[in-house]
Structure 1
Amino acid sequence: MDQRQEPPSSGAPRRPAGTGGPEGAGEPERTGRPGVPERTGKPGVPERTGKPGLPDGSGRPAGSAGRRPGKRRWLGALAGLVSAAVLFAVAELAAAFFGPGSSPLVSVGAAFIDFTPPWLKDFAISVFGTADKTVLFISMALVTAALAALAGMLAVRRFAAGASLVAALAVVMGVCVATRAVNSVLDLVPTALGTLAGLLTLSWLTGKAVEAGAGTPEAEAGTGAPEAEAGSVVPGDGSAATTEAGSRRSFLVATGLTAAAAVVVGIAGRTFSATRNTARIARQALKLPAAKSPAKPLPAGTTAPVQGMPPYVTPNPDFYRIDTALVVPEIDPAGWSLRVHGLVEEEFTLSFDELLALDLEESYVTLTCVSNVVGGDLAGNAKWLGYPVRKLLERARPQAGADMVLSSSIDGFTASTPLAVLQDRRDALLAVGMNGEPLPLEHGYPVRMVVPGLYGYVSATKWVVDLEVTRFADKAAYWTTRGWSERGPIKTASRIDVPRAFDRVPAGTVAVGGTAWAQQRGISRVQVQFDGGSWQDADLAAVPSIDTWRQWSYRWEDAPAGRHEVRVRAYDTAGELQTQDEAPPAPDGATGWHTITFTVE
């Protein structure tokens, strides 16, 4: 028993709280004698002393009032996070009945990509490479979590404030969904359903968070019912501490079960979307026709004789992927068509079956991304099957003055390709196959553009559905409006693949190998330089045409132990030397000689 507590009162009636005392509502009546404890009339209940740090009859030690709002805020943050999980899980499940573009998370990410400035895109690709979309998803998840936590913390103080933040974010998501090229008004339904589910969950969980945080904000502010006094008994519920602990357990159980349900619903949504993916099902069932003009067999020796070199033909799973689609478009080939129009004498539309019935051709072509840094791996070589674009243009008959073809993807991406490039004899294809199989979904299924000699951002449109013959003066493509060059001829480039930078290799003969390319010109010579010495000619591997990369190798005999630097440069078939001047990828491709250091042990 507290040594300061007086013996129990003989039964004198106690005045109701809030009827006396200078502090007004919620204050017990004081005795009027400073330093003398007030009688409560209840055995075992500490008396109010008026001294800081001692029990004051509020049911907690003095000074603890500031901690409970903080506790509620953290519980509210957890409620906000779980509510956001419910919102997106329900939206994902609903999106399975519409289209992948109806997912609010996907649409927001796609909008972010659309508004990304070139320097930020270039930075992301140079740092993260083909993992740039994964990093974007992680970043979005972190931002979403922060906003959800904030909404929860606001909601435990005033639900309308937290709900208003959620509503504002829902409006932003709705705008992103509605403005996607592949979406319609109906695609707003998943966002609406997810927002409703999220708000209901937020209301329920923040109510439990308030209970678990020991009362409502109004009660702590003195505007609601007084809290139980220490040691007092709440009829049927036990002590106040026990009641609060029970409320906290109830909150944690509710949030845990809700979070688990959100995970299950989210997984169900993704699984159901996969089962409804008619594009994937149709691709698996598709049997491509044989090429009317098959590619010639590869000559012997296309791969440099150096262990660790990449294969001459890049396997489909290893082929680089850089595009603006956050989620791969799912196109049923039965509903696909290509519209050819603009400054032409004959506009027409081509179906997928009509395309497959044409005289298809095969060709080995190396594609290169304009974002590839010096020595980067954003280049790949494949055997493509498709119909020559020049033959489509022959049917359309472009009008005088036209100088550009604006190709459009189903997701809104556009590329500006010089008309003359598509009309010459190069193997520019409307491709349907890649390395002997239908195009992978992520590489443009069912149809994409493949144009030798141009960077992908002005030629290699995936999921293509529209070709408009026009003029550079009249139309601008996706990346052109963001500061990149409107024409993107590929520059001569070379890189060192073996050894890798900072490798440690055994002493003796060191095998060095790499790749060089200059599509539509070809590679005629590659030279390497060690430690700033004289340039040495490398051995060149065979190639089927000037439209593919060329591998090279060099054997450095009796390499001394220590750290060394090796540099590479290439010449095209016209004898032009690759420029030494260093330039970043923007606005029309990186330049410079690739240099690495390694150690001989």
Structure 2
Amino acid sequence: MRDRRPLLAATAGAVAALVYFGSSEFLAGVLALTSAPLLILGQTVIPLVPTPLIKAAIAVFGTNDKLALVITIAVVGVVIGGIIGWIGVRRRSLSLVLLAGFGALPIILQFTAGGSLTGMVPAVVGVVLGCAAYLGLLRLAEVDEAPAALAEVDEAPAPAVRSTGAEATRILTTGETTGGPVGTTEAPDVRADDPRGPDRRLFFGIAAGLGAIGVAAIAAGQSAAVLARNAAGAVAQFVLPRPAASAPPIPDGADLEIDSLAPIITPNSEFYRIDTALVPPAVDAGSWSLRIHGMVDREVTVTMEELLALPLEEHYVTLTCVSNEVGGDLIGNAKWLGYPIRELLARAGPTSGADMVLSGSDDGFTASTPLEVLTDDRAALLAVGMNGKPLPRDHGFPARLVVPGLYGFVSATKWVTSLEVTRFADKQAYWTTRGWSTHGPVLVASRVDVPRSGVRVRADGGRVVAAGMAWAQHTGIGQVQVRLDEGDWQTAQLSEELNVDTWRQWRIDLTGVSSGSHTVTVRAIDKDGNVQISDRRPAIPGSATGLHARDLTVE
């Protein structure tokens, strides 16, 4: 009979891992703690992931890249639990030590990072429950497999043997036999449908139930964490002051109001989020401060109270991620409230030879921004508001950097706490050490939003409407051209411009379009005459390039 104990033990280990992750994740979510093992492991893994793999994850999952990482870590953890469980077939004590050690890893990581004792509670509880589930399932497995040795016995009944009187007397007094069964007694018939069957079904039933509870607890914990994060990000007590300089009203015609075309202003809830924080830091606005130091005449520290008392300004600025693929949606436009960074730097007085500002985040992220970009006349802000509300926690509450004309990886530091004036030759930022460019200027780009790719369009007398977005931050879009199939480039109508730091909508009526399959391609030209690069290249190290196209079928 095949020994099924390894399978049962591996299953017990995998379920124990699910119980561990589920209970700790749920408890952390309920207590609004950021110390769930999945999050701690994920935040530890992020800096170790090779850059090409990060790029691939963002390309595939977009803003869901962090959820994908959490799921991957959970799956890997379950596999590790299964391997540890399999070891327990012969080395029960070793497997229990390994399982507890695996569960204790996030506790150790948190402790070395200066975590609190309270933050360790979810993982400790998870270890206890996970080990208890493992031992309980192993006991069920042992009950199931205990008679396994009997299965080696030949199931054919032994021939009947008639005992002599003397032999029968000896058996009655000693309980021993010399060979076969006494009288007509036969060898036990051990079959798969004996009482072991129900035990095995019970094992898998309980294992499936515990596994399902573990998965549900992980999901519930994640949901509770999101709710707690959103509640913290809203910061009901945080009141934005009235801006000293308001943004100009949005001009008529800035939004073409075409179905499926991205709005000119991106709602906070729909604004893309790409950063290295698996869980956004919970920064207290009351104790927050910004330190400006390094190659300066004088070190400056600005508290939130001091920042809010300054004459704040509103500006519409479009931000985009360097990981945005051609035609991608890792871009958004918002009205930001903040104080000009150039004024803060002027207080500190950068010294001769400085050419870079290394901004630092509460979560350890750093970005390298050219000093000249932060000291010219552009609307580079230390922002505290987004679309008329305090910054959401996901987008940098209580303060972040907003710099027109640069990709976020070299400028848009969230939860910012430090500005170090230095030199590119002396310091490297988070992504620079991973092979990305140091300056990151935004390139001219555009995309087709309407019609959607692969849709069937009914032509109106041979006319098809195409529309989309174009951007060239801090230079401005001068023209957008559209081509149907391999035809000539045609000039599209542009929406009214908010300012040179924001994107613009475009539309065009393509006429004489016959039924069948077609391709719509777009390219943009900025106000300096720079034509969007048509050659395809990946985002690393500076930005993806190429022309965006959409396929459609005309009826």
State TM-score, norm by structure 2: 0.86
Q: Name 2:85's counterpart in structure 1.
A: 152
Deviations 1:469-519 (A, max 9, x none): 111111111111111001100011111111122221112210111111111
Counterpart in 2 of 1:586? Answer: 540
Q: How does 1:132-531 map to 2 (within 5 A)?
A: 132-170=65-103, 172-174=105-107, 176-178=109-111, 183=115, 187-188=119-120, 190-215=122-147, 243-245=195-197, 247-248=199-200, 251=203, 255=207, 258=210, 280=232, 283-304=235-256, 306-507=258-459, 508-531=462-485
1:560 maps to 2:514: yes
Query: What does the per-residue CA deviation read over 1:405-433, in whole Å, with 9 as the maximum and x for residues that have no partner?
Result: 11112111111111111111111111111
Residue 105 of structure 1 corresponds to 38
Q: Does the aligned pair in 1 maintain the 2:104–2:123 contact within 8 Å?
A: no
Change (3 A) 1:179 1:97: farther
1:577 aligns with: 531
Moved more, 374-383 or 157-166: 157-166
Preserved CA contact (<8 Å) 1:521 1:546: yes
| In 2: Cα distance, 1:555 partner to 1:272 partner | 48
1:35-79 Cα shifts (integer Å, max 9, x gaps): xxxxxxxxxxxxxxxxxxxxxxxxxxxxx2x2xx22x23322332
Tell me, yes or no, if the aligned pair for 1:305 and 1:553 is still in contact at 8 Å.
no
Matched letter for residue 480 of structure 1: T
For the 8 Å contact 1:528–1:568, the answer to whether it is kept is: yes
Cα contact 1:408–1:414 (8 A) shared by 2: yes
Distance of 1:509 and 1:256 partners within structure 2: 58
User: Hey, what does 1:42 align to over in structure 2?
Assistant: none
* Distance apart, 1:386 and its partner CA: 1.0
CA distance, structure 2, for counterparts of residue 381 and residue 454 of structure 1:
14
- TM-score with structure 1 setting the length: 0.79
Aligned-pair distance for 1:560? 1.2
**2:173 aligned partner:** none
1:541 equivalenced with 2:533 (yes/no): no
CA distance in structure 1 between the partners assigned to 2:268 and 2:152 by the alignment: 64
The 1:85/1:231 distance shift into structure 2, 3 A limit, reads: farther
The percent of aligned pairs where both chains have the same amino acid is: 47
Alpha-carbon distance, 1:456 to partner? 0.3
Conserved? CA contact 2:230–2:393, under 8 Å: no
CA distance, structure 2, for counterparts of residue 463 and residue 312 of structure 1: 26
Where relative contact order (Cα < 8 A, 6+ residues apart) is larger, the structure is 2
Tell me how far 1:199 sits from its aligned partner: 2.5
Structure 2: runs of 5+ lacking an equivalent:
154-180
2:339 counterpart letter in structure 1: Y
Report the structure number with the largest CA radius of gyration. Answer: 1
Q: Give the 3 Å change call, closer, same or farther, for CA 342–495 of structure 1 in structure 2.
A: same
- Give secondary structure in 1 for the equivalent of 2:337: strand
**Residues 380-389 or 270-279, more deviating:** 270-279
Q: Distance in 1 between matches of 2:395 and 2:13?
A: 38
RMSD of equivalent CA atoms: 3.1
Deviations 1:293-313, CA, capped at 9 Å, x for gaps: 110101110123543211100
SS at match of 2:474: coil
**SS at the partner of 2:286?**
helix
* TM-aligned CA distance change 1:282 to 1:322, over 3 Å: closer
Which has the higher mean CA deviation after the structures are superposed, 79-88 or 366-375?
79-88
Paired position in structure 1 for 2:25? 92
What is the identity, as a one-letter code, of the residue corresponding to 2:539?
A: P
- Structure 1 residues 349, 93: CA separation in 2 closer, same or farther (over 3 Å shift)? farther
The number of residues matched between the two structures is 523
Q: Secondary structure at the match of 1:340?
A: strand
Conservation of the 8 A alpha-carbon contact between 1:341 and 1:469 = yes
- Structure 1 pair 378/260, CA: closer, same or farther in 2 (3 Å)? closer
Corresponding residue for residue 178 of structure 2: none
